[in-house]
């Protein structure tokens, strides 16, 4: 413990590394859960099919003297193939379940270590004005473009990983199932039809995941309906996917804004909710969006682990953890449109981020 107190830079670097690793493990865990669910569906289908084949075999055995030899051979071939496929898919399911269990344990350990590390010292409280001053003092004009470019590149890398481990993997499974259907068409049309039904079910599940992926990437309803409905939809989706209580308050009439303002408002809420989940391990979130006047106001407040905002944002050497770097990047984006970001944070009371954005030029 004393080591980190005497070397805060090393502690901050370790927190940054652990925060990034925690996020990576959480993303991987989410992906493996999808694979477990999809494989479980296939296993259940194969088990049902195997039961039907065994019933047919018992019927053949009861009428062995009257069943043609070719039919007997076909039934046994089907039984062997079905058994092999069932065992293969069960092995795949066990493999995914084992990976999920390992990731669960790893995530629990990372959260515990990160929590203890972030709670090494009692952090001083900061007032709203003090937080604003610390944000201002943390500015480095020469780093603005660098941080924004880095943030964009990290987002591209995250999306590439999600595409590779999600839809791309599912497409590979589609190809495999299509090949199975092709082989079965001439020999067993009924089985081929079952495979096509299974392929349709899997495709529907994957399609839903891709729709969610596209919504996170760029929700079409943001262009069609505006920022208020999009925020409501995103919060509902967030609550479904995460074990976090979220309270959303929206003030003002439904209105359309310039596209770049709607994007900034939605993305800031999306990013701040993600920070509360990934870095603060929050259990509760409060989001307020006020578009009733000429200035848009956003509040995102969590009850997770906070940090010393004054110290973090006044660190001229730039040794920030991932959460602080993300907040600095967010603030710099709003600076470009004459907006502002004010952060208040205490170790024991969570973090509150207030964002303001002019809604008119």
pLDDT in tens, 145-201: 455 555 555 656 666 666 666 666 666 667 777 777 777 777 778 877 887 887 777
pLDDT confidence of residue 120: 43
pLDDT confidence of residue 68: 79
Residues 185 and 267 in one domain: no
Residue 140 has pLDDT above 50, yes or no: no
Question: From residue 182, how far is each of 41, 150, 176, 208, 332 by CA, in Å?
Answer: 21, 46, 10, 26, 55
Residue 77 has pLDDT above 80, yes or no: no
Residues 202 and 287 in one domain: no
Question: From residue 158, how far is each of 23, 63, 154 by CA, in Å?
Answer: 10, 60, 6
Residues 204 and 83 in one domain: no
Pairwise pLDDT comparison (170 vs 97), residue with the higher score: 97
DSSP one-letter code for 282: -
Interval 10-18 mean pLDDT: 73
Residue 105 has pLDDT above 60, yes or no: yes
Interval 134-152 mean pLDDT: 46
- Cβ 273 vs Cβ 285: under 8 Å: yes
- Tokens 């992926």, located at residue: 213
Residue 32 has pLDDT above 60, yes or no: yes
pLDDT confidence of residue 356: 94
Q: How far is CA 345 from the centre of its chain?
A: 24
Q: Cα separation of 305 and 337, whole Å? A: 30
Pairing of strands 295-302, 350-358: antiparallel
Question: From residue 1, how far is each of 4, 18, 32, 355 by CA, in Å?
Answer: 6, 17, 35, 35
Pairwise pLDDT comparison (351 vs 68), residue with the higher score: 351
Strand partners, 297: 290, 356
pLDDT range class, residue 141, cuts 50, 70, 90:
very low
For 193-252, how does the pLDDT look when each residue is reduced to its tens digit (9 = 90+)? Answer: 887 887 777 777 777 777 777 766 667 788 888 899 999 999 998 898 888 999 999 998
Query: Is residue 18 in a domain?
Result: yes
Element containing residue 350 per DSSP (H, E): strand 350-358
Q: Which region among 11-15, 53-57, 185-189, 345-349 has the lowest average model confidence (pLDDT)?
A: 11-15
For 246-275, how does the pLDDT look when each residue is reduced to its tens digit (9 = 90+)? Answer: 999 999 888 888 888 898 899 899 999 999
Domain limits at 276? 219-358
Pairing of strands 340-346, 295-302: unpaired
pLDDT confidence of residue 3: 41
Query: Is residue 146 in a domain?
Result: no
Residues 186 and 240 in one domain: no
Query: Is residue 127 in a domain?
Result: no
- Provide the residue count of the chain: 361
Pairwise pLDDT comparison (216 vs 310), residue with the higher score: 310
Query: Is residue 266 in a domain?
Result: yes
For 36-65, how does the pLDDT look when each residue is reduced to its tens digit (9 = 90+)? Answer: 887 888 888 878 877 877 787 777 777 777
> Mean pLDDT, the chain, as a whole number?
76
Indicate if the alpha-carbon torsion angle 175, 177, 183, 189 is positive or negative.
negative
Q: How far is CA 96 from the centre of its chain?
A: 18
pLDDT confidence of residue 163: 63
DSSP one-letter code for 142: G
Interval 288-298 mean pLDDT: 93
How many domains is the chain partitioned into structurally? 3
pLDDT range class, residue 124, cuts 50, 70, 90:
very low
Structure tokens at 306: 């906070």
In sequence order, which residues have a C-beta less than 8 Å from that of residue 114 and are 6 or more positions away?
A: 15, 18, 19, 22, 281
Residues 213 and 224 in one domain: no
- Domain end call among 87, 121, 155: 121
Residues 230 and 350 in one domain: yes
Residues 189 and 113 in one domain: no
- The vertex-108 CA angle with 106 and 112, nearest 5°, equals 115
Residues 289 and 183 in one domain: no
In sequence order, which residues have a C-beta less than 8 Å from that of residue 129 and are 6 or more positions away?
A: none
Query: Is residue 157 in a domain?
Result: no
In CATH, what number is assigned to the domain containing residue 256? 3.30.565.10
Residue 286 has pLDDT above 90, yes or no: yes
């Amino acid at each position: 413990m004393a080591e980190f107190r005497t070397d805060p830079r090393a502690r901050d670097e370790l927190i940054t590394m652990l925060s990034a690793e925690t996020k990576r493990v959480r993303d991987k865990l989410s992906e493996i859960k999808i694979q477990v669910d999809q494989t479980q569906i296939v296993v259940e289908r194969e088990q049902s099919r195997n039961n039907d084949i065994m019933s047919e075999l018992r019927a053949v055995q009861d009428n062995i003297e009257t069943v043609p030899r070719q039919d007997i051979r076909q039934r046994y071939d089907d039984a062997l193939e079905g058994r092999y496929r069932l065992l293969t898919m069960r092995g795949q399911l066990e493999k995914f379940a084992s990976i999920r269990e390992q990731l669960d344990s790893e995530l629990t350990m990372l959260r515990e270590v990160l929590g203890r590390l972030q709670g090494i010292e009692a952090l001083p409280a900061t007032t709203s004005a003090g937080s604003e001053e610390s944000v201002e003092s943390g500015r480095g004009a020469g780093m603005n473009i660098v941080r924004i470019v880095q943030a964009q590149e990290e987002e591209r890398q995250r999306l590439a990983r999600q595409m590779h481990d999600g839809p791309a993997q599912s497409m590979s499974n589609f190809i495999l199932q299509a090949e199975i259907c092709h082989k079965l068409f001439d020999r067993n049309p009924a089985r081929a039809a079952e495979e096509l039904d299974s392929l349709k079910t899997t495709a529907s599940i994957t399609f839903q995941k891709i729709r969610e992926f596209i919504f996170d990437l760029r929700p079409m309803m943001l262009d069609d309906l505006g920022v208020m409905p999009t925020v409501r939809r995103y919060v509902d989706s967030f609550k479904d996917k995460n074990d976090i209580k979220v309270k959303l308050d929206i003030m003002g009439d439904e209105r359309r804004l310039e596209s770049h303002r709607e994007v900034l408002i939605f993305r800031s809420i999306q990013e701040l909710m993600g920070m509360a989940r990934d870095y603060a391990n929050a259990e509760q979130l409060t989001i307020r969006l006020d578009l009733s006047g000429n200035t848009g106001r956003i509040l995102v407040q969590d009850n997770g682990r906070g940090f010393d905002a004054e110290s973090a944002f006044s660190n001229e050497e730039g040794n920030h953890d991932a959460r602080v770097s993300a907040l600095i990047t967010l603030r710099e984006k709003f600076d470009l449109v004459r907006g502002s970001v004010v952060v208040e944070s205490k170790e024991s009371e969570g973090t509150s981020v207030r964002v303001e954005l002019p809604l008119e030029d």
